[in-house]
Copies of this chain bind each other. A is one copy, B any other.
Amino acid sequence: MSLRHALLGLLHEGPASGYELTKQVEQTLERSAWHARHSQIYPELTKMADAGLVEVVEEGPRGRRTYAITEAGRVALRDWMMATPAEPQVRSEPLLRMFLLSTLDPSDARPLLQAHADEAAAEVSRLEQVVAYYEAEQPLERKRLNNRILAEIGLRQEQASYDWAVWALSELDSQKPAPSTVDGG
């Protein structure tokens, strides 16, 4: 039930509505840690309220409900964080594609690798700006430092992804050193 704990983690920073949580997931978690749609988030919040992990602290204009984490929610989050899982569960479609690159002809693999490199490069730029923003703040109090640490892990993963793709492209080249020779079999 990782979505539940992702939401508890976001609510740990302060109350938010389903809509706001959806945006936060999209902006901060989706790319490297956890993907979820609003159609899963809304019902999950209802269930979490039933379970006493969150509570509605405000009802707004168009049925908008602002949720806050409860003490039980904080306990549940900490319990989950401190319980080391038997096996790490990972599902990454982009990485799966890279693992399956070898099933393609080099002429197909090359543009995919290039696209992967381009996307990683774009994400690196974006995260560098996020990091720069946090660095610019002088005092670096607790919350800001945490955000900076989080931006850093995303940045490093994307940088590794980019470096790998560039390296893999060069390996592909060395694999097919004379593309125009006549192939006898």
A: residues with CB less than 8 A from B are 2, 5-6, 8-9, 12, 28-35, 77-78, 81-82, 84-85, 87-104, 108, 112, 115, 119, 142-143, 145-150, 152-153, 156-157, 159-161, 163-164, 167-168, 171, 175
Contacts and interface: CB of A to CB of B under 8 A. Distances in A.
Copies in the complex: 2
Interface of A is mostly: helix
A24 to B, nearest CB: 11
Contacts of A148: 171
A92 B92 contact: yes
Contacts of A33: 90-92, 95-96, 98-99
Given A34-B90, A84-B115, A160-B156, A6 B145 contact: no
Given A9-B99, A91-B90, A103-B9, A152 B168 contact: yes
30 contacts: A30-B87, A30-B90, A32-B90, A32-B92, A32-B95, A33-B96, A35-B90, A35-B91, A78-B103, A78-B104, A81-B97, A81-B104, A81-B112, A82-B108, A85-B93, A89-B91, A90-B93, A92-B92, A99-B150, A99-B153, A101-B149, A102-B150, A148-B171, A149-B171, A153-B161, A153-B164, A153-B168, A156-B160, A157-B161, A157-B164
